[in-house]
Structure 1
């Protein structure tokens, strides 16, 4: 007989200093990859002159642009009512303004803003997967743990 133990999700991440397990939430597959993906750079200053071949491009001051992160979460409740209550509370917190996302495994704290939900699906209204689109206005404005 094989027994599977459910790994505790406590301490996986914190949103605004609250453990995401409070909402029955945990990261879904691809969350760490989405957070670790590098930010794009802003377009460099370019000069295209008709009297020279090609272009001149100034790469002496490379700056990062804002980035959009698609962050997947599972939300699990013990019953239909518990799931729906946790789901609504989670969405209220996400849409409350700036999201300070602390991820101990990555040793980073991200400052994010909710912009959209790109995907949602539920299973018997006791478990759901939601993919949030979050903006990181300044990828250099992070804290390191």
Structure 2
């Protein structure tokens, strides 16, 4: 399926990749907020909490992908090239259906499984350092 997503301006179908079930949900999940500034003075009951300047934490996103090849060698070549691209540092993940481009950094592989070395499912864990730093399409 072409046009589903782009990594660093290259269609993920170039690597035989496509989103797996749960990808959109993972990308749309909101980031948590940072703790508010608090003052626990012994001169006052309770605490004072500043809620006027809410900021978001970085977030972790687990994005599931399918990678398919026409043969074992084709699958392995696409798989290796895909991993080389996503582990290259800061990547941009453009998702036209969500009308957003995310800036992500690869951190880990949460899960991997293959089927006869021609198709595999991989869940990649990314950090989004600043959830407000996105481009809207």
Unaligned runs of 5+ in 2: none
1:85 aligns with 2:77: yes
1:20-35 to structure 2, matched below 5 A, reads: 20-35=12-27
Write the distance in 1 (CA, Å) between the matches of 2:57 and 2:74.
40
How many residue pairs end up in the alignment? 137
Flag as ranges the 4+ runs of structure 1 deviating above 3 A: none
1:49 aligns with 2:41: yes
Write the distance in 2 (CA, Å) between the matches of 1:60 and 1:14.
37
Unaligned runs of 5+ in 1: 1-8
Write the distance in 2 (CA, Å) between the matches of 1:23 and 1:53.
60
Aligned equivalent of 2:131 = 139
- TM-score of the superposition, structure 1-length normalised? 0.93
Aligned equivalent of 2:86 = 94
1:99-110 to structure 2, matched below 5 A, reads: 99-110=91-102
CA drift at 1:51 = 2.3
After superposition, the C-alpha distances for 1:17-42 in whole angstroms (9 at most, x for unaligned) are 00000000000000000000001111
Aligned equivalent of 2:57 = 65
RMSD: 0.6
1:130 aligns with 2:137: no
Write the distance in 1 (CA, Å) between the matches of 2:64 and 2:73.
22
Aligned equivalent of 1:3 = none
